[in-house]
Each structure stands twice: as structure tokens, then as C-alpha cells.
Structure 1
Amino acid sequence: MNILIKLIQVAFLYGFYVIGSWLHDILHIPLPGSIIGLLLVWGALSTKLINLKWIESGAHSLLSVLPIFFIPATVAIMNYGHFFSGKGSLLIPITIVSTFLTMGVASFVSQSVAKRMDKRKAGSECN
């Protein structure tokens, strides 16, 4: 039964992807359909049109296999060895610095949002 629920949730998320792709094709939006679908999910969750519990375990299932999707991109880098032989070696420190910068900004933002949510909860509990 749990697998069936996850499949339904993944199908629901896939529906947002399909809608995003359709909007991309019809409206010629300069974003990929997958990003448009992601924004639609975010908007639906933010406006409480859909409940997080309706997609939570399906989303966790997809996120658990997400690293597998990066393997083809990593292997494809092997086709550009000539690029890395010159000044491409500068990409390594740039990648490391940008990764840590992204992690730092993401952690700062998530902690700020969590603190703000805690303050709202504490304020609503007092009323």
C-alpha cells in the first residue's frame, strides 16, 4: 500500500512537470518546463492549494535517487578534456569556492526562515 501511495504522489508531481512543459510550449516562456512545474508546485504549496502530505513521501523517493541523474553529466565532462588541459584547471578552485558559497548562503537562508517560522508559531501559540 505504501508503494502505491508513493507512485500516486510521484504521478502527481509528474503532472506538474507536464503542465510546466505544456505552459513552456504554449506561452514560449524562457524557462524549461521542469522549472516551470517546480515553480507551480512551490506556488501551490505556498498558497495551500495542495497539502505537503499529499506529495511528501513521493518527493522523498525522487530525492533519494537524485544523485544518479548527475552521473551522465559527470561522465560527459570526459569529452572536454582539451578544455581542462589549459586554463580549465582554474575551474577546480572556482567550483570549490562557489560550492561552499552556495552551501553557506543556503544554510543562512534556511536558518533565517526556520527562525522566522518559530517566531510565528510562538506568537500564534500565545494568542
Structure 2
Amino acid sequence: MLFYVLGEMMSLLIGKLIPGSVCGMILLFIALTLKWIRPHDVDKAASALTRNMALFFVPASIGLMHEYKILMSNWVVLLTVSVVTTLLVIVVVGVTEEQLDRKLSHKKGGEKI
């Protein structure tokens, strides 16, 4: 909760350019990376939130159902964006994996095992 509150305050300071929850997650990530907080300290809360994650999708689903007319009037655009972005993600992940694979095999080939 502390990082959520800090993130909300940070978001207000930057003019709500980034949502407070995202700022809070970034702050938590930084604290974990710099070892200001141990993973063990957040394990219990993280596990509880993960187990109940489906509940967090209920408000978004209700919002989508409420805006049904808008979604139906723009279904072609939404479908196009979904397909294009999915394909882009697949291509980027594939290219990145190939480059990492090449780098790893080149590194192993240069060393004596």
C-alpha cells in the first residue's frame, strides 16, 4: 500500500501523466532491485493479490459491457488494432529471441568447455 500511495503522489506531481498505480509499481521494482526491500517482505501480499487477480478484471468487464454500443460501432478498428499489435509482438519477440540465441551460441563457441 505504501508504494501505491507514493505512486499516487508521484503521479499528482507529474500532472497525472502516468497513473499512480504504475508509478507505485515502478517504485516497488526500484526498491526490490536496489535491495531496499527483500522479496520475502512482499511475498505474502503478492501471493494474496495473485490468487484473487480475477476479481480485478470485473470492473473492466462491466465497463466494456456498459459501452457495448461504442465497441460495436468500432469493431473493425478494434479487431484490426488487435491483430496488427499481436503480430508485431510475435515478430519482435521472435527477432529478439533469434538475436539472443545467436549471441549465446557465439559466446559458447568462443569458449573452451
SS of the residue corresponding to residue 49 of structure 1 reads coil
Equivalence for 2:109? none
Q: Where is the helix percentage greater, Structure 1 or Structure 2?
A: 1
Unaligned runs of 5+ in 2: 105-113
Moved over 6 A (4+): 103-106
TM-align CA RMSD: 3.1
1:62 to 49, 69, 76: 49
1:50 to 14, 18, 37: 37
Cα distance in 1 for partners of 2:92, 2:50 equals 21
Q: Percent identity?
A: 26
Shift of 1:20: 1.3
Report the AA paired with residue 39 of structure 1.
Answer: I
1:31 to 2, 6, 18: 18
Per chain length, whose mean CA-contact separation is higher, i.e. which structure has more relative contact order (CA < 8 Å, sep 6+)?
A: 1
2:64 to 64, 67, 77: 77
TM-score, structure 2 normalization:
0.64
Aligned length: 98
Cα distance in 2 for partners of 1:62, 1:48 equals 22
Deviations 1:22-53 (A, max 9, x none): 22224535211111111110001111111111
2:75 to 69, 85, 88: 88
TM-score, structure 1 normalization:
0.58
Cα distance in 2 for partners of 1:58, 1:52 equals 11
